[in-house]
Amino acid sequence: MFKDFLKDSFFFTKRYYGYILGLLVISFILGTLAVVVLLILGILLAMLMGVDMSTLGLLNDKNVFPFLSSKFIFYIILMILLFIMWVLLVLAFIQYPLVKTFIEITREKDIYKKPFEIFFAGIKEKNLMMALKIVGLGFLLTLIVGSILFIGIIGIAFSTDAVDNLARFALIIIGIVGIVLGVYLLLRLMFANAALVDKNIGVIESVKESLKLTKGKMGFVIAAYIYSILVSIVFQIPVYIVDTLFKTETSQESVLFIILSLIGFVFYLIAVPYFIVLQYLPYNFINSYNKGVNHQDGQIYNTDEYVIG
């Protein structure tokens, strides 16, 4: 199963390499424009309300809060609401079309897809409801996985300060169980976002779908996850080497350091399309594998029924 996954990963990367880079560039440009628009709106809103933007730097001083005007506080509230709306728009018009496109182009080997058409069709959907569901799923996964990992880390951290041996042992056990369980749930729920976008289902349904997909497939999921991490580390090695060789501040400013850093960055950038494929292909691979198994079971069942009949 994993060997077939590797073959497919190279196949899809070769087929859509330039398209993936193009989509990432388009998304970066759109994201940058969104940030610029947000900043301009913030400045215009401040000018319209008569808020002095120089007072924003005073927010680091705790003593200034009792003296803030109601106008300034109202401006901060409006900016927070504007930022929330901005996040939803970015998710609906950039993140959702991008994820949808990457899922579609890594689905079938026999059918050639047109990535740009899929991406811009996703933008035309204006799917703000999907953006809300993506946010909701993010909060839910953070609550489930994050809280368990947090308990595990806290247990390990406090175990060193425990005086009683029994208490130290109990905290270590709680920490280990929390971390292992958190990582396990992270792997079981790693396809929830893809299922949410791909099947346009609810938040809870996407969590159930991820649990269903990964049931009995944890060996493959762990292998694919570790492989993607190892590949990412390999392509980051040049950057680490450059940082290790140039430790002093004077060397950091040298032309050689800049050139080598750019080479390391470009080397890593070249592999980004492959990282994208490794991120979305496992979801489609398990889906197709399950469909293949169910199809074979159906054929066997029909054959038996025919013979008996």
Is a pLDDT exceeding 50 seen at residue 8?
yes
Q: Is residue 188 in a domain?
A: yes
**Domain ranges, residue 153:** 127-215
Q: Is residue 270 in a domain?
A: no
Residue with tokens 């392509």: 235
Q: What domain count does the chain have?
A: 1
**Confidence (pLDDT) at 68:** 56
Residue-wise pLDDT tens digits, 76-102: 888 899 999 999 999 999 999 999 999
Q: Is residue 271 in a domain?
A: no
Q: Which distant-in-sequence residues (6+ apart) come within 8 Å of 277 by Cβ?
A: 9, 12, 13, 16, 20, 102, 106
Residue-wise pLDDT tens digits, 156-201: 888 777 777 787 888 889 889 999 999 999 999 999 999 999 999 9
**Confidence (pLDDT) at 234:** 86
Residue 255 token pair:
């032309």
Which carries the bigger pLDDT value, residue 267 or residue 129? 129
Q: Which residues of 26-52 are buried (b: 16+ CB within 10 A; e: fewer)?
A: bbeeeeeebeeebeeebeeebeeeebe
* Greatest CA separation for the chain: 87
**Confidence (pLDDT) at 97:** 95
**Confidence (pLDDT) at 96:** 95
Residue-wise pLDDT tens digits, 11-62: 999 999 999 999 999 999 999 999 999 999 988 888 887 776 565 554 554 4
Q: For the chain, what is the radius of gyration of the CA atoms?
A: 25
- The CA distances from residue 9 to 36, 105, 130, 257, 299, in Å, are 36, 11, 28, 34, 29
Number of alpha carbons in the 13 Å side-chain half-sphere of residue 170: 6
Is a pLDDT exceeding 70 seen at residue 237?
yes
Residue-wise pLDDT tens digits, 279-297: 999 999 998 877 765 544 4
Q: Is residue 135 in a domain?
A: yes
Helix 96-105 vs helix 272-308: angle between axes, to the nearest 10 degrees? 60
Q: Is residue 190 in a domain?
A: yes
Q: Is residue 169 in a domain?
A: yes
Q: Is residue 178 in a domain?
A: yes
